[in-house]
Copies of this chain bind each other. A is one copy, B any other.
Amino acid sequence: MIGVMSRWEPNARGRLEQAALELYCERGFEQTTVAEIAERAGLTERTFFRYFADKREVLFAGGVTLQELLVSAVAGDPESAPPIEAVAAALAAAGALLQERHEYARQRQAVIAANASLQERELIKLAALAAALAGALRRRGVTDPAASLTAEAGIAVFKVAFERWVSGTGRADLPQLIREALDELKAVTAGN
């Protein structure tokens, strides 16, 4: 056990993420190898594979954290809150965390936009996020189709706000963009 512990690298995961993204931006996702990512991070390939299944997953591992955060925020919101408000509060909380990584998010988006298979992976992750949110709402007693529709509406709001945020110049506030997108969704569904 001590042997295993002694190989633990403080913040190895963050260094690998940063190194991978730099390389994907510099030479393209396809052209980058795990060996190069590990070298750039000053770590071994073996360490890389302790954190990530492959070079694609470096870009999507954060989505798991995001999903856990959203699900626990929806679960923890007062039962009396309307479902859409529980989802909006969860999204705003997630947005506040993402806010600190604006430059990372911008670069990541550029890498994904340049590669069709990464775009597909992003869609799959968003669909999984919608399913997880719908599940969290059902556990709060929200029935279908309201649970599915609220979750899908939440993901649509997040997607639109996130796109505006990453294409912005760095001043934009993600939690505020999320709130604005929700207000806009309320207006468009009301037929305004």
Contacts and interface: CB of A to CB of B under 8 A. Distances in A.
Nearest to A156: B152
Given A123-B127, A152-B159, A153-B153, A186 B189 contact: yes
Interface in A148-169: 148-150, 152-153, 156-157, 159-160, 163-164
| Chain A at the B interface: SS class | helix
A149 B191 contact: no
A168 to B, nearest CB: 13
Interface string A165-192: 0000000000000001110111111111
Task: Report how many copies the assembly holds.
Answer: 2
Chain B CB within 10 Å — which of A83, A156, A164, A191 has the most?
A156
Chain B CB within 10 Å — which of A189, A191, A192 has the most?
A189
A120 interface: yes
Contacts of A157: 149
Interface of A: 82-85, 120, 123-124, 127, 145-146, 148-150, 152-153, 156-157, 159-160, 163-164, 180-182, 184-192
